[in-house]
């Protein structure tokens, strides 16, 4: 190789290698100081995506466990109130049994009846003043109270819809209903297809005209109608979830995730999954139109909606006791009241049984979410956490290479200085 001074090739090589060593050393120091193996997308793009997804799952699972615990708190408030109602009913049974005996005179019957009426008033008071988070518990609302748990994905989500029957002296206890679990629903396809080939997929920012119509059959056989007014897809989803229609929730997803067959829709079609576990609710697309995608909205049956546990009243209405018309003014009235009280005790026990079952369900859900969260965090840690044994070894290697590189660069620079000796 000729001897020249125009370019110091060996110094360039040494400099390039030194730069690479310094970059690796900086990356290793970042890993050691942050505790994370992945500090940017450049470190491991696929790993970062997976770790971020698991982090979102963990956040959702942590809050879901809290949601379930809050649901248990609500149920325990209701159970405590009904426990007091049972105590009051037991005292009322004692009074009614006493007044049913022919040995009492009119004054004594009046005294027993006065206490009995006070008991009925207190039942009314418990029904109207029992609250959780400043909200009345015993509303009798068919929409119930939805307890949501999940891992931030539609597939990993579930809803336990808690029902609290109205509590008054004319409606004591609740018996006869059943608890049902369902994943049935309808996929609202908002995408535009040519045949079954996807032309334009819908997005959550798409503009809408018209609205969905929900026709609800009430327990008294009357019907009520709710028509949405949202002007965007995301707004429609939010409106449906805020309406609190019993058994109905909404989320954005694809036809494939909704389990819609290819002969009906393209797997990539996007739209809204409407879970509908309430047989008393009928959904119609009505005049709804997606003006952005140009798709013609269709409702396709699906069995992959958000899993929902729902209380369903028995046909013709649940059994409940009416004590408001009873009194202990006479021996005959007291005996009639005693019969009604026995029914009330039974109905309250049935209602407490339902509440107790839901406490156990939500407690189990909370435990499952906590266990799942532990495993998700463990998986995230395995992907993202710095391996300190390996990083420490790399640190030692790159420090040595850095020192060697600096020495090599200095030596490369000094070699060309020898050319000056030829000119002396």
Q: What's the total number of domains in the chain?
A: 3
Name the one residue in this structure whose structure tokens are 């009873």.
Answer: 326
Residues in the chain: 424
pLDDT by residue, tens only, the chain of 424 residues: 566 667 778 888 888 888 888 888 888 888 888 888 888 878 788 888 888 899 999 999 999 999 999 999 999 999 999 999 999 999 999 999 999 988 888 888 899 999 999 999 999 999 999 999 999 999 988 778 889 898 888 778 888 989 999 999 999 999 998 888 888 889 999 999 988 899 999 999 999 999 999 998 876 678 889 999 999 999 999 999 888 787 788 889 999 988 898 888 899 999 999 988 777 889 999 889 999 999 889 899 988 888 888 888 887 888 999 999 999 999 999 999 999 999 999 999 999 999 999 999 999 999 999 999 999 999 988 888 888 888 888 888 888 888 888 888 888 877 777 777 777 6
In a domain, 30, yes or no: yes
Indicate if 140 and 62 belong to the same structural domain: yes
In which domain, by residue range, is 167 found?
Answer: 54-179+311-381
Domain finish residue from 271, 305, 339: 305
Q: Are 194 and 216 part of one and the same domain?
A: yes
Q: Is residue 72 part of a domain?
A: yes
Within 8 A by CB and 6+ apart from 150, the residues are 60, 61, 64, 156, 157, 158, 306
- Asked if 323 and 339 sit in the same domain, the reply is yes
Q: CA-to-CA distance for 276 and 283, rounded, in angstroms?
A: 9
Please give the Cα distance from 191 to 290 (Å, whole number): 8
Domain check: are 169 and 317 in the same one? yes
Tell me if 42 is assigned to some domain: no
Is 1 within a domain?
Answer: no
Residues 78 and 154 in one domain: yes
Same domain, 89 and 67: yes
- Residue 339 falls inside a structural domain: yes
Q: Examine residue 40 and state whether it is found in any structural domain, yes or no.
A: no
Strand partners, 252: 272
Determine if the pTM surpasses 0.85: no
170 and 88 belong to one structural domain: yes
2 assigned to some structural domain: no
Structural domain contains residue 144: yes
Last residue of a domain, one of 278, 305, 332: 305
Residue 139 and residue 246: Cα distance in Å, rounded? 14
CATH code for position 147: 1.20.1330.10
Based on the fold, state whether residues 377 and 390 are members of the same structural domain.
no
């Amino acid at each position: 190789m000729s001897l020249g001074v125009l370019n110091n090739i060996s110094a360039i090589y040494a400099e390039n290698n030194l730069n690479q060593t310094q970059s690796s050393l900086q990356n290793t120091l970042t890993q050691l100081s942050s505790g994370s193996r992945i500090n940017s997308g450049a470190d491991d793009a696929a790993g970062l995506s997976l770790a971020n997804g698991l982090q979102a799952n963990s956040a959702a699972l942590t809050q879901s466990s809290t949601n379930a615990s809050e649901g248990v708190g609500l149920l325990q408030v209701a159970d405590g109130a009904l426990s007091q109602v049972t105590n009051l009913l037991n005292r009322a049974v004692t009074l009614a049994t006493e007044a049913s005996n022919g040995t009492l005179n009119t004054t004594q019957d009046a005294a027993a009846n006065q206490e009995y009426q006070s008991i009925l008033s207190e039942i009314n008071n418990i029904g109207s003043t029992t609250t959780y988070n400043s909200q009345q518990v015993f509303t009798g609302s068919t929409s119930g109270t939805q307890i949501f748990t999940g891992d931030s994905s539609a597939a990993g989500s579930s809803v336990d819809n808690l029902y609290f029957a109205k509590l008054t002296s004319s409606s004591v206890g609740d018996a006869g209903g059943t608890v049902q679990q369902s994943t049935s629903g309808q996929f609202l396809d908002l995408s535009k297809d040519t045949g079954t080939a996807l032309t334009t997929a819908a997005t959550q920012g798409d503009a809408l005209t018209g609205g969905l119509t929900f026709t609800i059959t009430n327990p008294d056989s009357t019907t009520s109608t709710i028509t949405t007014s949202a002007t965007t897809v995301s707004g429609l989803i939010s409106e449906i979830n805020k309406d609190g229609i019993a058994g109905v929730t909404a989320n954005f997803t694809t036809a494939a995730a909704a389990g819609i067959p290819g002969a009906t829709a393209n797997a990539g079609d996007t739209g809204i999954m409407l879970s509908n576990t309430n047989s008393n609710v009928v959904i119609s697309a009505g005049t709804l139109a997606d003006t952005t995608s140009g798709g013609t909205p269709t409702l396709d049956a699906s069995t992959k909606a958000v899993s929902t546990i729902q209380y369903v009243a028995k046909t013709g209405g649940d059994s409940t006791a009416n004590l408001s018309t009873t009194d202990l003014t006479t021996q005959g009235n007291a005996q009639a009241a005693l019969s009604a009280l026995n029914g009330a005790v039974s109905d309250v026990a049935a209602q407490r049984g339902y509440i107790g079952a839901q406490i156990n369900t939500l407690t189990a859900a909370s435990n499952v979410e906590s266990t799942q969260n532990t495993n998700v965090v463990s998986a995230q840690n395995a992907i993202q956490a710095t391996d300190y044994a390996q990083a420490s070894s790399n640190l030692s290697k790159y420090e040595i290479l850095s020192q060697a590189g600096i020495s090599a660069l200095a030596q490369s620079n000094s070699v060309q200085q020898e050319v000056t000796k030829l000119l002396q």
